[in-house]
Structure 1
Amino acid sequence: MDITDFYDTFFEEAEELLADMERHLLELDVDEPDTEQLNAIFRAAHSIKGGAGTFGFDILQKTTHLFENLLDHTRKGELTLRRDIVDTFLETKDMLNDQLDAYRNGDEPDQEAFERICRTLQQIALEEIGQDLEGGTGAAPKPAAPPKTPEPEPQATDGAAGEGERLVVTLLNVGEKDRQLLVEELAQLGDVIAQGGDESRYEVTLASSVSGDDIEAVMCFIVDADQVQIRSAPHGQAAQAEAMTETVQPAEATPPKPDAEPANSAAASAGNEKQVTTASAPRTKSKGKPKAKSGGESTSIRVSVDKVDQIINLVGELIITQSMLDQTVSELDVVSDGALLNGMSLLQRNARDLQEAVMSIRMIPMDFVFSRFPRVVRETAGKLGKEIELVTEGESTELDKSLTERIIDPLTHLVRNSLDHGIEPPDVREAAGKSRTGKLVLSAKHQGGNIIIEVIDDGAGLNRDRLLTKARENGLPVSDTMSDDEVWQLIFAPGFSTAKEVTDVSGRGVGMDVVKRNIQGMGGHVQIMSRPGEGTTIRIVLPLTLAILDGMSIKVGSEMFILPLSAVLESLQPAKEDLYAMAGDDVVLKVRDEYLPVVAVHEALDVPDAKTELTETIAVIVQGEGRRYALLVDDLVGQQQVVVKNLETNYRKVPGVSAATILGDGSVALILDITGLHRLSRAKKEKRRPERKPSLEALTDQELET
């Protein structure tokens, strides 16, 4: 049997356990720690240790062994928590992540870092509880607990079994190879008294001091949770199992318990019932359905992202083919070919439903992103000496997986920027009549075909005069007549920083410009709203996915182009009195008291045979990077959903174009980049201007002489 087949499952589930561990550690109240949270942290460490031992990851196993022993003392009240101890636990969690990554990459973890964290954990144990952590497993210290009167209740709640406790582990629909591996793992957690059954139901009777929950957690690295059932074995059944397997310890297993005090027997029965309830509840909750007797089916599967992308690409090709067929049959006669047309209509609906269903596979909740920030806020606030309350809203809002991974770094920069520059120190806030604790809100919500992510702080807000002064010092072209929106956008200029000194948090003038570029690279834009003394809101607007786009088809000359529908505001026929010539070749269009730069698509992209008379064209008002433009096109064809094809991967980067798609007739249409198109148009105008400069300069000199 090749045990490496289970590596990926172990790595993925261990990462999830570490993420849960970090969340619980950050939520812990050091003054009154929640018992359930402490137990959850302990179980996570114990499960990882069990899996690491199974796969031979020695350093990971040893680290988690020491960590779980320290956690066991903590959950039993023998170690009093402090903030610095929780910080050490978080550091240990980071070390476990590093070790996991090393094993994933086929390397050995850093030995020096391993020895350092082991010394740190041992030192805490010696200083706080007066003993080291080398004795036994995390469950071994439990026999020392009975002298303490309050301890039996928490242990019973946790589902821990006594030293002589008998458990029956039932494996449902588990193949022979997996079953052998599971029995070997059970042998490491206790003594296997008896085993037997077939593939549909295989029972292992185990004597173990490890709780049913912990055993189940280790088993679930190999099989699904609903393929494992754990219950306490009745005393008679345990004795019978021992007799059948000729175990040499019958006296220890059977007589003492029936002869024990009646009160203890009743208590043991009650404890057994509670353990069964505790062990089975998570499975019922995770399934969300009644019983599962259909071959141990699970409600979720782990699939490689590459496989999902391949399915999405195939569905995209199917949609393109369907569009081609639809265009072909649209010319047929409704009467004579009615059945075919009805079939095509049904195919179109089914194809759209299939497309939406497949796309939803890639959608994951924003909690995947937001869950990383309690740690960031905690550590950054600690470095800055600030008190911060983090609030998250809209964690269930879904976004494409590829975008959630790419938004983490920009969002981290924005959060750190709000903590450093936005929220004031406690004394300053108090002097201003505010609460000493600043508030940082991360929110996400859907709006049309976009997702809106906001970073909101209740700090001092942006200072307009200070930003303008700093911009002038950096040589940026600014003026006092600039709108607030334009001034706020200055913080995204390369090298721009208002920090008085450079720290490890900020001040180097890098980061914010990268934030803007990255968000634009995802097809989004950034907006800033700020009020002095009240705080700042930074809003990120992103498309829900980069694979499918709702677009507007436009025609310029004989060429077809696609505009992202989310960027289109309106369209109109420009009137002569609304067009104004500016210096050089620039033209602006007046739309309801707002003057918009005019971008002629045929000039920017060198499209022949297009309409050149401005009043004969159609002006499409679009928005990009917070600014509005008027794109001049020949015709509006209609709206349609298109499959986005990466142009750089299949060809090369083209200025003014973000991607491409295939239309129903098989032709390729370019998807336009609004801001890139405007920059391309300006660049072409700049190239033409030098030819006119001499005559303009001569005219100016002549006027000056006269």
Structure 2
Amino acid sequence: MALDMDQLRRIFYEECRENLEVLERELLALDPDADVDLDIINTIFRAAHSIKGGGATFNLNEISQFTHVMETLLDEAREGKRRLDAATIDLLLKGGDCINSMLVAYETDTDFDHALRDALTDQLNDLLNGGSASDSAAPAAQSEEALPEQSGGSGDWIVLFKPHKEMFFSGNDPVRILREMFDLGAECVIECVQDTLPTLDEIEPEMCYLSWKISVDSVVTRDQIEEIFEWVEDECDLEITQAEGEQTEEAVPESAPVESTPAASSAPTPAAAAKPKAPSKAPASKADAVSSIRVEIDKVDNLINLVGELVITQSMLTELSQNFSESKLERLQAGLDQLLQNTKELQESVLNIRMLPISFAFNRFPRLIRDLSSQLGKNVELIIEGEQTELDKTVLERITDPLVHLVRNAVDHGLESPEVRAEKGKSETGRVNLYAYHQGGSIVIEVRDDGAGLNKERVWKKAIEKGLLHAETAIDDLSDHQVYNLIFAPGFSTAEVVSDVSGRGVGMDVVKRNIEDLGGHIEVDSKPDEGSVFRISLPLTLAILDGQLVKLADQVFVVPLISIIESIQIESDRVKVATGGVELYRLRDENIPILRLKEEFCLGESGALDKQLLCLVEAGGNRIGLLLDEMLGQQQVVIKSLESNYTRVNGISGATILGDGSVSLILDVQGLMTGFLSRVGDANSHIAA
């Protein structure tokens, strides 16, 4: 079976990103002022080493060569020759960013910033050359001290390298090993041993039949050679000796026999006097950047068991269908009940596979906080809670950018400078909290800070200045909630100075829109000098929802059950008409605007309100009543995108197929509410929307 190199390459991309996450997380965990934590440094080194080795395996030479310089620096740190101070950690973090940019370039067949890569390489090399422990003469001195005295000869290292035939199956390539031997910077001669090469008709293209004899100058240490072969030590036979000296200890376990072939009995190619030409880079394409997900084996096992149960139930029903008689009705009913149960469990299991902990999104914020605090001159502590709360992978991917914007705003606008905080009697270190938890059928994410909070009067004045409020609107006429919601208006900003971080009036409206596109909503609470909290509520999944079927004329629609508060029959004496013709229903001291859905969707006239059904729904902290003809049953529905299959329709979030095969549209409650209130409401209604 031929190897699918594209698939192997995609696996490497995933593993490389995981190692980059480890590298960044552990670098951020290092305290430059504390005692050296070798466990953390070793973890960082292993991550860099894996990236370098994997990059070389797939001929991603820019990644491999750049990471090699970082790895050298980390190797000095783990050997105690160098201390990783704050500046070095910052440089290594930038190096990780550079590797990620190169990775993206390979995935999408685009280019990356070579100037940045070269500049970082120079900085790393300058750092290496500046330290006494990394002087170029040091390895040579170590080597000379470690070598026994020779009675004659050069004392060069002789390496017999015989890969196992199946080495290619693991994605490893002997050419990479040979290239790294040349990269040691010493004189290196390679001879290819071909005595095990079969005849042409016997060759299997996926197998490795060649071996190599490598001569390397004695300025190289044995440890340096062994490190190169460490990546494949269990996939080859290896012998390392010193010319005209005693054979040293083998670099492979005794259970792996060494088969050396004298040069005289081989048919060597001419000695390699120059570095061998590396295979050309495998072409990448945008198709390489395929979204994927790693699944725990327990979830897969559970899915397989459920499929097995489904197959058994299907076999039973097939048997019942043959020569069916009335006496088999009871067994048929039992079989159908079992099928229903299996289907529900299978559905839950499949959805569970898509669920990922929100830590995948939260993990990027320690680095973001570190960079922002340094850039803004603020002391910031990040506290993360509920990072194991799970939500759908699609929701997770699309909520990350809004969260980044909220955190940046919290640090830039929310938290005061250390001097101002000290004057207020606060700790000079500000706090930003990220908190996630489940609430009903939703996930709630809170972004909190203990900064200055929102200034109600300032927001009110800016809203009047920008025309978001009528000039005669008094601040006392508005609740705190209504005023704070103004920050989500397009172009709204109270920042006095535009910075690289924020303050251009761009973003908060996009944050709100992106969250609403996910079927969620965002609200803000704030107290002067105590801080602010942005609270985001999102559905757990975008694939399936619990819905209430409702009827309008001869059409069936689905209202998300999570949006429904209650349903009532209208009493005509509770209906009032406000200015502008807006109908309001008085319910428990609250006036609820009525939206006639028939007219909204051009399905006819609703007629008199007496005894009609009113479905009260809530979104974004606001309520309206949807006027319906009839309420049917409740059921789970599978959401199909209307936009990708047809076009975007205002007030409709998607479609589903009902049990009778008919198509039913799913209402976008937030979209309906926003459009309705902004269309017929006054200024206060517009704020509430």
Change (3 A) 1:488 1:237: closer
Change (3 A) 1:62 1:618: same
Report the equivalent of 1:382. Answer: 374
Report the equivalent of 1:346. Answer: 338
> What is the deviation of 1:338?
3.0
Change (3 A) 1:39 1:554: same
Amino acid at match of 1:621: L
SS at match of 1:390: strand
Report the equivalent of 1:14. Answer: 16
1:63 matched to 2:66: yes
Alpha carbons 2:49, 2:71 under 8 Å: kept: yes
Structure 1 Cα separation of the partners of residues 162 and 545 of structure 2: 51
Larger helix percent: 1
1:524 matched to 2:531: no
Change (3 A) 1:5 1:512: closer
| TM-score for the superposition, normalised by structure 2 | 0.75
Report the equivalent of 1:417. Answer: 409
Per-residue CA shift, 1:539-592, capped at 9, x if unaligned?
Answer: 111111111111111122222111111111111222223221111321111221
Residue of 208, 212, 223 corresponding to 1:209: 223
Any unmatched runs of 5+ in structure 1?
147-162, 249-301, 687-706
Any unmatched runs of 5+ in structure 2?
147-155, 182-189, 197-205, 214-220, 239-247, 264-287, 295-299, 682-689
Amino acid at match of 2:437: K
Structure 2 Cα separation of the partners of residues 628 and 538 of structure 1: 20
Report the equivalent of 2:272. Answer: none
> What is the deviation of 1:78?
2.3
Alpha carbons 2:172, 2:232 under 8 Å: kept: no
Alignment of 1:259-658 (within 5 A): 305=291, 337-477=329-469, 478-480=473-475, 481-608=477-604, 612-658=607-653
Structure 2 Cα separation of the partners of residues 358 and 404 of structure 1: 17
Report the equivalent of 2:120. Answer: 117
Structure 2 Cα separation of the partners of residues 383 and 237 of structure 1: 50
Q: Which range is displaced more, 580-589 or 484-493?
A: 580-589
> What is the deviation of 1:679?
4.8
> What is the deviation of 1:69?
0.9
Change (3 A) 1:576 1:141: farther
Alpha carbons 1:46, 1:214 under 8 Å: kept: no
Alpha carbons 1:552, 1:639 under 8 Å: kept: yes
> What is the deviation of 1:352?
1.2
Structure 2 Cα separation of the partners of residues 566 and 212 of structure 1: 61
Report the RMSD for the aligned CA atoms in angstroms: 4.5
Report the equivalent of 2:280. Answer: none
Structure 1 Cα separation of the partners of residues 590 and 227 of structure 2: 66
Residue of 169, 173, 194 corresponding to 1:178: 169
Change (3 A) 1:560 1:357: same
Amino acid at match of 2:612: T
Alpha carbons 2:437, 2:444 under 8 Å: kept: yes
SS at match of 1:533: coil
Alpha carbons 1:387, 1:437 under 8 Å: kept: yes
Alpha carbons 2:550, 2:630 under 8 Å: kept: yes
SS at match of 1:615: coil
Alpha carbons 2:519, 2:670 under 8 Å: kept: no
> What is the deviation of 1:79?
2.3
Q: Which range is displaced more, 88-97 or 510-519?
A: 88-97
| TM-score for the superposition, normalised by structure 1 | 0.73
Structure 2 Cα separation of the partners of residues 421 and 177 of structure 1: 54
Tell me the percent identity: 40
SS at match of 2:434: strand
Structure 2 Cα separation of the partners of residues 144 and 654 of structure 1: 77
Structure 2 Cα separation of the partners of residues 133 and 114 of structure 1: 23
Alpha carbons 1:66, 1:133 under 8 Å: kept: no
Change (3 A) 1:577 1:303: same
> What is the deviation of 1:336?
7.6
Change (3 A) 1:5 1:522: closer
Amino acid at match of 1:450: S
Q: Which range is displaced more, 45-54 or 634-643?
A: 45-54
Structure 1 Cα separation of the partners of residues 678 and 505 of structure 2: 27
> What is the deviation of 1:643?
0.5
> What is the deviation of 1:676?
2.5
Change (3 A) 1:656 1:433: same
Structure 1 Cα separation of the partners of residues 25 and 435 of structure 2: 18
Change (3 A) 1:236 1:60: closer
Per-residue CA shift, 1:107-163, capped at 9, x if unaligned?
Answer: 454432232111111222233437567998xxx9987999xxxxxxxxxxxxxxxx9
Structure 2 Cα separation of the partners of residues 237 and 378 of structure 1: 44
SS at match of 2:610: helix
Alpha carbons 2:38, 2:78 under 8 Å: kept: yes
SS at match of 1:61: helix
Report the equivalent of 2:279. Answer: none
Q: Which range is displaced more, 236-245 or 590-599?
A: 236-245
Structure 1 Cα separation of the partners of residues 114 and 587 of structure 2: 67
Change (3 A) 1:668 1:169: farther
Change (3 A) 1:341 1:464: same
Report the equivalent of 2:105. Answer: 102
Alpha carbons 1:564, 1:671 under 8 Å: kept: yes
> What is the deviation of 1:469?
1.1
> What is the deviation of 1:507?
1.3
SS at match of 1:433: coil
Amino acid at match of 1:476: L
Alignment of 1:239-258 (within 5 A): 245=260
Structure 2 Cα separation of the partners of residues 637 and 35 of structure 1: 65
Alpha carbons 2:571, 2:611 under 8 Å: kept: no
> What is the deviation of 1:401?
1.2
Residue of 84, 90, 93 corresponding to 1:90: 93
Structure 1 Cα separation of the partners of residues 362 and 251 of structure 2: 51
Change (3 A) 1:442 1:680: closer
Alpha carbons 2:569, 2:612 under 8 Å: kept: yes
Alpha carbons 1:557, 1:611 under 8 Å: kept: no
Structure 2 Cα separation of the partners of residues 546 and 142 of structure 1: 61
Change (3 A) 1:135 1:110: farther
SS at match of 1:96: helix
SS at match of 1:628: strand
Alpha carbons 2:421, 2:427 under 8 Å: kept: yes
Q: Which range is displaced more, 56-65 or 517-526?
A: 56-65
Amino acid at match of 1:642: V
SS at match of 2:223: coil
SS at match of 1:540: strand
Structure 2 Cα separation of the partners of residues 236 and 123 of structure 1: 33
Structure 1 Cα separation of the partners of residues 102 and 505 of structure 2: 34
Change (3 A) 1:247 1:573: farther
Alignment of 1:671-686 (within 5 A): 671-681=666-676
Q: Which range is displaced more, 433-442 or 32-41?
A: 32-41
